[in-house]
Chain A
Amino acid sequence: MTAKKDAQKPGWKDVPEGGLILESGNATEYKTGGWRTHRPELDKDQCINCHRCWVYCPDSAIVSEDEEVTGFDHDYCKGCGICAHECPVDAISMIKEEPSTEE
C-alpha cells in the first residue's frame, strides 16, 4: 500500500530516466528546514551586526538586509546552532522547536 504522502508524488512513468536531474539550480526548491529540532532566536538589542553568524552559517540561512542581521531563513536553517555558538555577544539563543511552530 502506498502511503498518502507518497501518492502525491510522480509515478515511475513520470520521473526522468536514470535519476537524472534535468534542470540546473533547483536545489533551492528543496527545503531543508524541516530537519530542525532547535531554531535560532535573535535578540536585536544585543546584536552588534558583526555578521559573524552570516559568515559561519553553513547554509546561508542568516538574513542580512542593508548590512543589518534581521533574522533567519527557516526554510533552510537546520538548527545546527553554529551561529549561536559563534556570536561574540550572545545575541542568538537556540530554542526547541515545538510541533505547533513547524507550520
Chain B
Amino acid sequence: MSNKVALTGHEILANAMRQINPDVVAAYPITPQTELVQLFSQFVADGKVDTDFVTVESEHSAMSATVGASAGGARAMTATAANGLGLMWEVVYIAASTRLPIVMPVVNRALSGPINIHCDHSDSMGARDSGWIQLYAEDAQEAYDNALQAIRIGEHEDVRLPVMVNMDGFIISHAVENAELLADKDVKEFIGDYNPDHSLLDPENQITVGPVDLQDFYFEHKRQQIDAMENAKDVIADVAQEYKEMTGRGVEYFEEYKLDDAEIGILALGSTAGTAKVAVDQLREQGVKAGLLKLRVFRPFPSEELVEALKHLDVLAVMDRAETFSTTGGPVFADVRSAFYDAKSDVEVVNYVYGLGGRDTRVEDVVSVYEDLQEITASGKVDNRVNYLGVRE
C-alpha cells in the first residue's frame, strides 16, 4: 500500500524520517535544510515518532551527539547543508572511521564563499573522501527512496558505514512534487530493527569507543573502511533490487536514459539529470543519438559498471556542480576519466562545470553541451577539456 502525495521535497523527506522513526535525531538548522528538521521536530512534538530530539548549539555538536547516540546503539540521524557540513567536518570523519551507520540528508548548497545559500554540490563533494557512502537524487521521490534504502545499506553487517542522502537545495527541497510514500508498516518491515554488534551502553560487554589509534593500527583501520566500501557496492545493488521488487522504482548505481544506441552522452547527478532528460528527448526528436547516464551512487564509485555502460559512446560530457581547483576539472570528471583510462577506451571525455551557487541550468544549456559533443564527433578535436557552462565571459 502506498500513498500518492503532492508535497515539497522537505515534506517528503521528513515523512521518510517519520517512517524510519529513528531513536535519536540531533540537528541544528541551516538553510536550506532548516525546514526538513523543523517538519520532523513537529512530528516529535505531535508524538508521531518515538525519537529523542536533541537540540544542539551547532552542527559540530549535532554530528557529535549523533555519533554518541549511534555508538550507544541507537538508530541515529541528523541532516545538514553547506556550511553546516563544513562545521561538522572532523566529526563526519569520526562517524565513518568509528563505523557508525548514521543516515544524514544533505540538502546540497554552495559552501562559501562568497556566501551563497543556493544549490551546488561543493558541500558533499568536499566530504567525498570522508568515508561516507553518498547517494544523489534527481527528485524528491528518489530522495525518499534513497533515505529508506540508506538505513539498510549503512547498517548491513558487511558495511557499517554512514550514508549521505543528497538532494539539491531549493530545487528539490522546496518545490512541490508528486511522490508515492510507502505505508508506514511497509517501511518498518523493510528497514527492520537495528542490531549493532556493540553498544557503549551495554554494561555486560564494556567497550571503549574512539581510542587513540597511532602508527600501530591506524592504517589497518583505514584498510577496513575500504573493504566496507567494497562490500557496500554489492549491498547497494541488493537493497535496490529488493526495493524495486516492492515499489517498482529504483536503480542500482545509475540510470541509463536512452543510452543503448547513443553516440553522444552526458553523465550528471542530482536534479540536472531531469533537465538533461528533456534535452535528450528534444534531440532524439531531431534524430540526434543523445543519451544520459544519471549517477546515483558516487561513493563507492561504480567504476567498472560506468565504463561498461558508456564505452560505446563517441563523446561523453561529465557534468560537475562543484569545482576542485585542481585546474583539471571537477570531482566527478576526475573519477570518470580515471575509470576510462583503465579500460583503455577511446571515448573522448570532457568536463562541464555548471550551476555553481544556484546558477540556473536550463534545457537549452544542456542542449548546448550536446551540440558541443556533436562538434567534437565531427571534427575529432577537443578544444576545451574543461568547460564552464553558463558563466559570463
Q: Which residue of A lies closest to B99 (CB)?
A: A18
Quick check: which of B208-216, B264-272, B292-300 contacts chain A, the rest being far away? B208-216
Measured CA separation A18–B207 after assembly (Å) = 12
* Chain B positions 282-310 with a Cβ under 8 Å from a chain A Cβ: none
Query: Which of chain A's residues have a CB closer than 8 A to the CB of B98?
Result: 18-20
Contact B221 A21 (CB under 8 A): no
Cβ-based interface call for B227 (8 A): yes
Contact A17 B208 (CB under 8 A): no
A18, A20, A23, A24 interface centre (most CB from chain B within 10 Å): A18
Query: Which of chain A's residues have a CB closer than 8 A to the CB of B219?
Result: 12
Contact A12 B198 (CB under 8 A): no
Contact with A along B185-203 (1 / 0, CB 8 A): 0000000000001100000
Interface of A is mostly: loop
Query: Which of chain A's residues have a CB closer than 8 A to the CB of B97?
Result: 18-19
Q: Which residue of B lies closest to A27 (CB)?
A: B208
Query: Which of chain A's residues have a CB closer than 8 A to the CB of B217?
Result: 9, 15, 19
* Interface residues of B, count at CB 8 A: 23
Measured CA separation A6–B220 after assembly (Å) = 11
Contact B220 A15 (CB under 8 A): yes
Contact A15 B221 (CB under 8 A): yes
Q: Which residue of B lies closest to A20 (CB)?
A: B207
Contact B227 A22 (CB under 8 A): no
| Chain A interface extent, by class | 10 to 19
B97, B208, B213 interface centre (most CB from chain A within 10 Å): B208
Q: Which residue of A lies closest to B215 (CB)?
A: A6
Cβ-based interface call for A11 (8 A): yes
Contact A19 B211 (CB under 8 A): yes
Measured CA separation A21–B160 after assembly (Å) = 17
Contact B220 A12 (CB under 8 A): yes
**24 A–B contacts from the bound complex (CB under 8 Å):** A6-B216, A9-B216, A12-B219, A12-B221, A12-B223, A12-B224, A13-B224, A15-B220, A15-B221, A17-B221, A18-B99, A18-B100, A18-B224, A19-B97, A19-B211, A19-B213, A19-B217, A19-B221, A20-B207, A20-B208, A20-B209, A22-B205, A24-B206, A24-B207
- 5 A-B pairs with least C-beta separation: A18-B99, A24-B206, A21-B208, A12-B220, A12-B223
Residues of A participating in the B interface, judged by any CB pair closer than 8 Å: 6, 9-13, 15, 17-24
A9-B217, A18-B224, A19-B210 known; 15 new pairs, CB 8 Å cut-off, are A6-B216, A10-B220, A12-B219, A12-B221, A12-B223, A12-B224, A15-B220, A15-B221, A18-B221, A19-B97, A20-B209, A22-B198, A22-B205, A23-B206, A24-B206
